[in-house]
Structures are given as C-alpha cells and as structure tokens.
Amino acid sequence: MREVAVVAFAQTRHSATDEGRCDPELILPPLEEVREKTGLRTFGFTCSGSCDYLAGAPFSFVSALDALGAWPPISESHVEMDAAWALYEAWVRLQHGDVDSALVYGFGKSSPGDLREIMTLQLDPYYLAPLGLDQVSSAALQASAAGADRAELDEIVRRSRAAGRANPYALDLPDPQGDAYEVEPLRPYDIAPITDGAAAVVLAAGDLARELCENPAWITGIAHRIEPHYLGMRDLARSTSAAEAARAAGVDKGHVDVAELHAQFSHEELILRRALELPGNTAVNPSGGPLAANPVMATGLIRIGEAARRILDGAASRTLGHASSGPCLQHNLVTVMEA
C-alpha cells in the first residue's frame, strides 16, 4: 500500500442562507487556499463530489469546473455523492503509483430548494420515493427504532452547537430549545441546519507529502461498506456497515484522539459511536459536526478535513473522519489518519 496523506484542507465560512455565490464562486476560495498552502497549481488527479438535484440542473458539476482551470485538459472525475467518496476515489487513484498529488473538493447549496423533498429523490423509485417519504420522516423512523434517550440527544445538540459557535466556519446556532416536533420523535434542532458551503483537500503520496507539509495526516486505513437500501431490510437501530468499515479501516488498532462523525441527526451520533466502538475519551465532533454546519455533499469531506487538521496542526496523533450517504446511514466510509 502506497503512503498517502492529507496535506492541506480548507473550507468556506458556511452560510445558512444563499449569499448569492454560484457554485464556482463558492469553490474558488477553498481551492485558492489549498493551492497556497501546498504551493501546487496543478495536480495529478482531480475529483469532486456534488449532487445535481441540489442545483436542479443536469451536469451542474461540469460548470463548477470553471473554478479549476481545466485547460490544458486535466485528469478529472466526479462522484454524484459526498466528496468524501471523491477523496476515496483519489486515494485509489494515487495507489496506482503514476501520480503523486490529488485535489479533492465538494460543494453544495441546500438553501435554494427544499432539501427534504430533494433527498426523497435519492430513494428507490418503486417502493419509497412514490410514497413521498422525506428525509426527516425516515430519520425519525430510525430515531424511533433506536429508542434514543431525549436527554442524551439534547446533550449532543447542545455540545455540537456550542462547538460550532467556537468554529469560525460553522453556523452560529443557539442552544436547543422548544418542545415542538418536526417529525416525532425528532425536534427541529435534532436536524442538521440548511447550509451552503464547499471544502477542498489535497492528498499527496510519500515524499511529496513530506515535502509539502510538516505534519502530513497519513491515511493508515480507509474503507467503506454499504447496506441494503430498503429501510425494512435492515435493523435501523444499528449501523452494521459503519461497524464493518471501522473494522476494515483498523479503527481499533490504536487510540482515537478525535473523531469527526457525519451525523446529520442527533440520534445518528449515538448509532455511530456504538458502531465505531469509540472510547469515552475520544473527542467527538470538536468542530461542531453537521449539526453545526451541513453543506451537503461537502459535509463528509469536511469531517475528514477536520480530523486531518488536528494532525496537521500537531494537536492530535490519531484521528478518524467518517462520512455517510444514503437514507438512514445506509453507506459509511471511515478514514483513519495518523501523524
């Protein structure tokens, strides 16, 4: 296995409302930032993650390439999902051995449309989408199956929002309050906020990584696993795929200082902690996590970036970045990074 590390990470100051930037305009600042941090202007491979349904336009990711400078032609790819999977593809590409650097970015604006309706479009078109089962309703089904304790959920939201207020890139959200339900048993504050934003990561292999940065965040384990799409075919109270991805990525081979989890609903953090078997003294989502800022399609990449940043800064020696995709934590990717 070739040594590959995260050597730079940047993200936008995410916003809760549309500030009038189109996708390339949103991507440009983090791209400029990682180019500046690494001194690289060109990359062996470029891969992005986004979702056309967020923009409501086909091939919207192609026009987003305007932020890159794709001439003369570059080696480029795209995943129609969270950019954490673009990072996985880039990691696989670097394993080929013929290129040493990769640029990964993800972007998404969920404010222009209705995210609950849009995410229904990801469901199977025969059994689930025609029912109009929206994202919050299915998440509430999972929360109910998991039998999550209200006080525990409130504490997760309180902790995440407080951490988010201390994070200049996340949203400024108040402590949870009110006892209204969005879809019972979920309250409005159990749900990640509508967010616009983007993020970029640079991966580099071997000596190039050592050259580009003082403390590369070496990827020592990366794996993803998926479960059946249909909710009734799974035990929603557990995440088998997150547990198997964690095992394959070797999470248990050492102490995890920081874990950044892609939990878009408070109960998902409980399910993930259990699946990943994180010890009590692991700092979970010190950035605030998705409950403090959820730029859809970049949120998972940001988890890897935030976990890497702790190593780049020298603050941690072993961290975990997690990303999820599909309804009710269907698909999970776990990245372990070490100093």
CA angle in degrees (0–180, nearest 5) for 92-234-226: 5
Report if residue 181 touches other proteins, rule: CB under 8 A: yes
Angle, alpha carbons 44-65-37 (nearest 5°)? 55
Residue 178 near residue 131, CB atoms below 8 Å:
no
Q: Which is nearer to other proteins, 81 or 183 (CB)?
A: 183
> Beta-carbon neighbour count of residue 24 at 10 Å?
16
Q: Quick one: which of 174, 232, 280, 281 contacts other proteins (CB under 8 A)?
A: 232
Burial class (CB within 10 angstroms; exposed 0-12, middle 13-18, buried 19+) of 193: buried
Q: According to CB under 8 A, which residues from 9 to 48 bind other proteins? A: 20
Closer residue to other proteins, CB minimum distance, 56 or 254: 56
Q: Mind giving me the DSSP string for 107-150?
A: EEE-SSS-HHHHHHTTS-TTTTGGGT--HHHHHHHHHHHHT--H
Strands 101-109 and 45-49, bridge-based pairing: parallel
User: What is the distance between the alpha carbons of residues 22 and 16, in angstroms, rounded to a whole number?
Assistant: 15
User: At which residue do the structure tokens 């996708």 appear?
Assistant: 23
Shortest Å, Cβ 59 to other proteins: 13
Q: Establish if 251 lies at the interface with other proteins (CB under 8 A).
A: no
140 binds other proteins (CB under 8 A): yes
185 belongs to the binding site for other proteins (CB under 8 A): yes
Question: Judged by CB under 8 A, which of 21, 230, 315, 338 binds other proteins?
Answer: 230
End-to-end C-alpha distance for the chain, whole angstroms: 17
Select from 36-44, 51-59, 101-109, 189-197 the region that touches other proteins (CB under 8 A): 51-59
Q: Does 100 bind other proteins (CB under 8 A)?
A: no
Q: Is 126 an interacting residue with respect to other proteins (CB under 8 A)?
A: yes
Q: Which of residues 293-312 bind other proteins (CB under 8 A)?
A: none
For residues 267 and 261, is the Cβ–Cβ distance under 8 A? Answer: no
Asked if residue 219 binds other proteins (CB under 8 A), the reply is no
* Contact call for residue 236 and other proteins (CB under 8 A): yes
**130 or 254, CB closer to other proteins?**
130
Q: Does 132 bind other proteins (CB under 8 A)?
A: yes
**The two three-digit tokens of residue 231, written as one number:** 């909710």
Min dist CB 149 to other proteins, Å, is 15
Interacting residue ranges for other proteins, rule: CB under 8 A: 20, 53, 56-57, 112, 116-117, 120, 125-128, 130-134, 137-138, 140-141, 143-145, 181, 183-186, 227-228, 230-233, 236
